[in-house]
Structure 1
Amino acid sequence: MHICVIGGGLTGLSAALRLSGAHTVTVLEMDAEPGGCLSSYRLPDYAIESLYHHCFSGDVHLRALISELGLSERLEWLKGSTGYMVGGSISPLTTPLEILRYPHLSLLEKIRLGLFVLGSKKADYETLDEIPAERFIREELGDQIYRSFFEPLLKSKFGERRSEVSAAWLMSRIAIRSDRGSEGERLGYIKGGFVELIDALLLRLDEMGCRVETGHRVSSLQAVEDGWMVDGERYDCVISTLPPQETGRLSSLPLPSLPYQGSACLTLATSSDPTDGIYWVNIGDSAPYGAVITHTNLLPFERYGEHIVYIASYYSGTPPDDCEELFISDFCSRFSIPRSSIHWHRLRIEPYAGPVYLTGYRSMIPDPHPAPGLFIAGMFSSENYPERSMDGSVAAGEAIAQSVMEWSP
């Protein structure tokens, strides 16, 4: 078969890898570089992801792919540190002692929170899918723990829709992030960046005869007899990794419009460390962004020669026209960073950064085979429920490839 894969992100490339060789595969990617949300800025001395990334020890599909591509020795495990900025100061929350010293919760509340986190891996996501996270936390842990610990996370991630997000998403997030020892969270990163994973995938696909066409934004998707026409070229079947509503718009099929949110992520390099050695700082104060992630507090500073910082915000609708200047001005003021110490900065706007996991989201997940010869997979797939991840994206790509192989035109 001749198969068209729309979208050259991790899901699309993983699907193409499983189908190439046995089939003729063409990947159409709208951006100049494949990788989707895992694409990178290629600077003179190093490459760095345009959106912050790390992986987890439980990412079995991603780790298997890394091994298959001969990159296992490049995967290193690092200690991630976290903190909250409240009232203009950062409270570290990495070690048990730091959590005990956290000034915005009582000792009893900290004990209740610790026991709650320990029980997160036993959560029943099917039941929690119908329960709002805010209500669940208030009932289980009380208003103070919700306001001082969970509300900043939900607000930074989902903004005004935070009260609609399901407890299934929150508990999944807690379970994923609870892989930590006494010195912090265990996080994975590929030496040289995840660009090495994308480059290795592209090299393997090229060796298998797969064509990856960049700079191609699909504008037409039409069912024809025994196949599909994509921008005037016929294929036996199509895998679309676009959001379902975008595939529906292109194909005129009544696919569901899932709730998505966008992200505005400013990456910058600076001479000084803004977060006092902490990797991930959630902002509890009022700010135009929800988190500041200092990449060089996870990876060694010496690899880059400058501090790499992500300033991250999620939004609904469209971000402010001046959000780049807004981020920089607030960041410099809030963290006492002279603007002259910023070496470079780049803003990435991603309109479909990820689904909003509202209550009842599980029932919204669309059929991965909505029409003869048309398959859909991506961040919205069941493999990425109840929280999207690189691992879920690889799993979604591999699962949809298997569905194509089992399908008979």
Structure 2
Amino acid sequence: MDICIIGGGLSGLSAAYSLREKADITILEEKEKLGGCLSSSKAKNGCIEDFYHHCFSGDNNLFELSDSLGISDNLEWLSGSTGYYANDKIYPLTTPIEILRYPLLSILDKFRLAILTIKSKNYNLSSLDEISAKDFIIEKCGISVYNSFFEPLLNSKYGNFKESVSAAWLISRIAIRSDRKTGGEKLGYFRDGYNLLIKSLETELENSGCIIKKGTKAELINFNGSKWEVNGAAYDALISTINPRCLTKIGGPEFPEIPYQGAACMTIGLKREVTKGIYWLNMKDKAPYGAVIGHTNFIPPENYGEHIVYLASYFKDKPEENLEEIMIKDFCNRFDVKDDEINWYRLNIEKFAGPVYIKGYQKMVPEYEKEGIFLAGMFSQSNYPERSMEGSIIAGKKVASEICRKYNI
């Protein structure tokens, strides 16, 4: 049986891995490297992800995949500290004492925020799908908690969509991050980076006979009555992991209008540390990026021979003109970084980084099969209401099992 997979991100690779011994597989990846948003590039030493990543203690499918690939011993658990940049100052918010000292929330605000965090795992997320995160937070915690704590998060993550995002997404995000210790949140990372996961999958798939075509975009799909034709080549089954709107444009079925956003993520190699030891620094002050991720305040800088920082930004339709210049200039001015302290920097753009979980999104989620095409990706049910590597792996495994069931392989 011949299967074509459009997209070499984690969902596509996971589907291929599940099917590798049961079918002949061809993966078409538009870019020159695999991984999608989990792709990596060279750092001073080794590789660094193009877009920041970490995993959580409940990511069991990721752990099973890592174990199957023989790389689970490379996974480490480290503490991730957090903070806010407000009024031109960095406020650490990792320990209970730091949170109590945070001046932009009253004692009552902090109490309400603590209660919400405690209750987050008990909410029925489906019931929150039609409620905006803004309205929910204001009702439960008050306007000052929203303005001082949650609005910067929503703005950095969703920009112009911030008032449309559902409470289901926000509460799921709080719940997954609620198991904090006094030293910070425990997060997982491969000692050799997530490039190890992607390269291990690529090697295993190629050793199994899988054909991987990088730099090859799916231009046209068509069902000829018995087989799917992709760029003129015929296949018995087709898996698509790309934005459903993009699939429609090349001959796929119609889908509900799922809003997507792009990501513009700058990675900077530095000679020194600049975020006062904080891993994840949300920007409350207006800036051309919503968060500064001090990667080497999470992973030891010795792994790279330098300090590494990400500047996270999201956009609708297309990024701002001259964004690279705007971001690096603002960063250097704001954090007092001199030109000779920068080893290198690059801006990575992903036009369709992921769907925006607006109110009512649950009704838009496509099934795993539509009109004979199998679908898995950021848009899948397993990635709602919070997208993750775990959700993408589950989606890939799910379509693989659906193909096995339908074709009895």
TM range (shorter): over 0.9
Q: 1:378 touches 1:393 (CA, 8 Å); kept in 2?
A: yes
Query: Is the Cα–Cα contact under 8 Å of residues 80 and 184 in structure 1 kept in the other structure?
Result: yes
1:110 maps to amino acid: K
Q: Report the CA distance between 1:45 and its aligned residue.
A: 2.2
Q: State the 1:35 CA deviation.
A: 0.7
Q: Which residue of 2 aligns with 1:284?
A: 284
Amino acid of the structure 1 residue aligned with 2:399? I
Contact 1:265–1:347 (CA<8 Å) still a contact in 2? yes
Cα distance in 1 for partners of 2:90, 2:44 equals 33
CA offset digits 1:232-286 (Å, max 9, x no partner): 1000010000011111111152223310000100101011211000001000001
CA contact (8 A) 2:291 2:311 kept: yes
Query: In the TM superposition, what whole-angstrom CA distance separates every residue of 1:289-337 from its partner, at most 9, and x where no partner exists?
Result: 1000010000111111211010010111211220000000000001111
Partner of 1:89 in structure 2?
A: 89
Question: C-alpha distance in 1, partners of 2:68/2:391?
Answer: 17
1:208 aligned partner, one-letter code: S
What's the counterpart of residue 402 of structure 2?
403
CA distance in 1, matches of 2:140, 2:249: 42
My pick for the range that moved more, 4-13 or 178-187, is 178-187
1:384-406 CA deviation, whole Å, 9 max, x = no partner?
A: 00010000000000001111111
Q: Report the Cα distance in structure 1 between the residues aligned to 2:44 and 2:384, rounded to whole angstroms.
A: 38
Task: State the AA in 1 paired with 2:301.
Answer: F
Post-superposition CA distance 1:175-211 (Å, at most 9, x none): 1111211111010000110000011111111221111
8 Å Cα contact 1:223-1:251 kept in structure 2: no
Which residue of structure 2 aligns with residue 380 of structure 1? 379
Q: What is the distance in 1 between the residues matched to 2:336 and 2:287?
A: 15
> Is contact 2:44–2:306 with CA below 8 Å preserved after alignment?
no
Whether 1:155 and 2:148 are equivalent positions in the alignment is no
Per-residue deviation, residues 339-386 of structure 1 (Å, max 9, x unmatched): 2211101111111111100000001101221112x1111000000000
- What SS class does the counterpart of residue 163 from structure 2 fall into? helix
Give the percent of matched residue pairs that are identical in Structure 1 and Structure 2: 50
1:1-400 matches, cutoff 5 A: 1-43=1-43, 45-372=45-372, 374-400=373-399
State the AA in 2 paired with 1:383. Answer: S
**Distance in structure 1 (CA, Å) of the matches to 2:104 and 2:135:** 20
User: Pairwise CA RMSD of aligned residues?
Assistant: 1.0
Please, which moves more after superposition, 361-370 or 36-45? Answer: 36-45
Partners of 2:320 and 2:160 lie apart in 1 by 16
Matches of 1:154 and 1:200 in 2, distance apart?
A: 35
Q: Secondary structure at the match of 2:250?
A: helix
**SS of equivalent to 2:94:** coil
Which deviations, in whole Å up to 9, do the C-alpha atoms of 1:13-35 show, x marking residues without a partner? 00001111111111111111111
Tell me the amino acid that sits aligned with residue 397 of structure 1: G
What SS class does the counterpart of residue 178 from structure 1 fall into? coil
Residues in 2 aligned to 1:71 and 1:264: alpha-carbon distance in whole angstroms: 30
Distance 1:278 1:22 in 2: 47
CA contact (8 A) 1:31 1:214 kept: yes
The separation in 1 between residues aligned to 2:265 and 2:86, in whole angstroms, is 21
Query: Alpha-carbon deviation of 1:44?
Result: 5.7
Q: Distance in 1 between matches of 2:336 and 2:199?
A: 38
Residues 112 and 140 of structure 2 are in contact (CA less than 8 Å); yes or no, is this contact kept in structure 1? no
Alpha-carbon distance between aligned partners in 2 of 1:49 and 1:75, rounded to the nearest angstrom: 15
Equivalent position amino acid for 2:41 in 1: Y
Q: Which amino acid aligns with 1:408?
A: Y
How many residue pairs match? The answer is 408
- 2:407 maps to a residue whose letter is S
Contact 2:92/2:278 (<8 A) preserved: yes
CA contact (8 A) 1:85 1:91 kept: yes
Structure 2 Cα separation of the partners of residues 316 and 339 of structure 1 = 31
Whether the 8 Å contact between 1:272 and 1:337 is mirrored in structure 2 is: no
Q: TM-score, normalised by structure 2?
A: 0.98
Measured against aligned partners, the alpha-carbon deviations of 1:59-100 in whole angstroms (never above 9, x if no partner) come to 111111111111111000000000000000011000111111
Deviates further, 141-150 or 112-121: 112-121
SS for the counterpart of 1:163 is: coil
User: Amino acid of the residue matched to residue 242 of structure 2?
Assistant: L
Conserved 8 A contact 2:49-2:195: yes
8 Å Cα contact 1:279/1:296 also seen in 2 = yes
TM-score (norm 1): 0.98
Distance across 1 between alignment mates of 2:237 and 2:85: 50
In the alignment, residue 225 of structure 2 is paired with which amino acid? E
Detail structure 1 runs of 4+ shifted over 2 Å in the superposition: 42-45
| 2:51 alignment partner, SS class | coil
> AA paired with 1:79?
S
Question: Is the Cα–Cα contact under 8 Å of residues 30 and 216 in structure 1 kept in the other structure?
Answer: yes
